[in-house]
Amino acid sequence: MPVAQALADFHASVAQCDSLIANAHQLDPAGQSLLPEIDRQQITVAAFLNMFIAWETFLEATLSHLLSGALTTSGNAPVKFASPPSPEMAKKMVIGTMRYFDYGNHFNFKKIAEIYFDQGIPFKPPLDAVNASLDDLRVMRNASAHITSTTQTALEALALRLLAAPSAGISLYSLLTATDPVSATGGTIFATYKDILLVTAGAIASG
């Protein structure tokens, strides 16, 4: 089942990102970090960006397969308004006359889902449920790609809201590795948003 494979691939990619971050923060027997701080920072931010890319890849694969006739993991056939003969043609339909389609832009993705699927199902309801978190992820994604006064201001505002503390000059690394104040398990901000994506991907795949 292509949708099940897309979900499995996403889980594998996220697990690899987790592994990268864990390995980057390993300690020696004396309790000292094995890697210098700059390496830990770069590996962590790269792992986050890889996770976001994997999310985009999952959305593209799932949409193109469902649009071309695949079933969800629960065996449902979503009601759709087009029937391209292959996932490749489905991707071309989504791109249309544009140079590319940004699957990381959840606002535009939901619009596309509503165009091709009845009420945007199975995509729109799960994405609507975590819309604010997707906004946050977009802010972090932009900060991982380039730091400007605009992206830094947005990152600081996000950090202030998530950590409930002044966050002037905060880096994406510091935010990702900070303990999430609302986490019941004492997990990091990265872990919180990772879990949100995993749950949302599962809901989309199952239809």
Condensed to tens digits (0 to 9), the pLDDT of residues 29-54 reads 999 999 999 999 999 999 999 999 99
What value does the mean pLDDT of the chain take? 96
pLDDT bucket at 136, cuts 50 / 70 / 90: very high
pLDDT (tens digit per residue) in 189-202: 999 999 999 999 99
Using DSSP, state whether 186 is helix, strand or coil.
Answer: coil
Q: In terms of pLDDT, which residue wins out, 146 or 165? A: 165
Distance, first Cα to last Cα, the chain: 14
pLDDT at 150: 83
Percentage of the chain exceeding pLDDT 90: 95
Does the pTM surpass 0.75? The reply is yes
- Band (pLDDT 50/70/90 cuts) for residue 148 is confident
- With CA atoms as reference, report the closest residue to 198 among 50, 65, 5, 10: 10
Amino acid in position 169: G
